[in-house]
Amino acid sequence: MVGEIWQTASALAKGMAVTFRHLFKPPVTENYPDEPPHFEARYRGLHVLQRDENGMEKCVACFLCAVACPANCIYIEAAENTETQRISAGDRYAKVYNIDYNRCIFCGYCVEACPTDAITHGHGFEIASYNTTSLIYRKEQLLTPLPVIQ
């Protein structure tokens, strides 16, 4: 019984020590939306479909990201590249690439599964909406813009 009292008092003292240690430190406050938020380097935000150095899409419609997704939120339709119209460096490209953010759990499996590094996580986070249809992002919304030629 004395041992239990000692353990309880010890745990209470440790907890209060942590409280008093942080009591006089200045608070860490982010002034969002007045200032941009600070993100860590590995933050998993909205997905971004990347382009290569020539401005072509990196996605070759291999479907590995859709297969790896546990939430089944990625939908892809593939199309063949032609000699007159090249969209990606491979034989195929993603004609349709949709991510349903109603279902996405931002696990990062799609990013890890992509052999061409076509899909990555960006730092976008403002996707709240009252309309669930606006949370289905299409390829045009996910693609990085074409580089500006000067």
What CATH code is carried by the domain that includes residue 79?
Answer: 3.30.70.3270
Mean pLDDT over residues 42-67, rounded? 94
Please report whether residue 130 resides in a domain. Answer: yes
Residue 132 inside a domain? The answer is: yes
In a domain, 76, yes or no: yes
Residue 148 has pLDDT above 80, yes or no: no
Mean pLDDT value across residues 86-104: 94
* Residue 61 in this model has a pLDDT that exceeds 80: yes
**Domain for residue 78, yes or no?**
yes
30 falls within a domain: no
Q: What is the pLDDT of residues 97-124, one digit of tens each?
A: 999 999 999 999 999 999 999 999 999 9
Query: Does residue 25 belong to any structural domain of this protein?
Result: no
Percent of the chain with pLDDT over 70: 99
Domain with 51, as residue range(s), is 47-142
5 assigned to some structural domain: no
Residue 27 has pLDDT above 90, yes or no: no
Look at residue 129 in the predicted model and tell me its pLDDT. Answer: 92
Give the pLDDT of residue 149. 67
pTM: 0.77
The DSSP-derived string for 22-64 is: HHTSPP----TTTSPPP--TT---SEEE-B-TTS-B------H
Q: Is residue 122 part of a domain?
A: yes
pLDDT(70) > 80: yes
Looking at residue 150, its pLDDT comes to 63
* Structural domains of the chain, count: 1
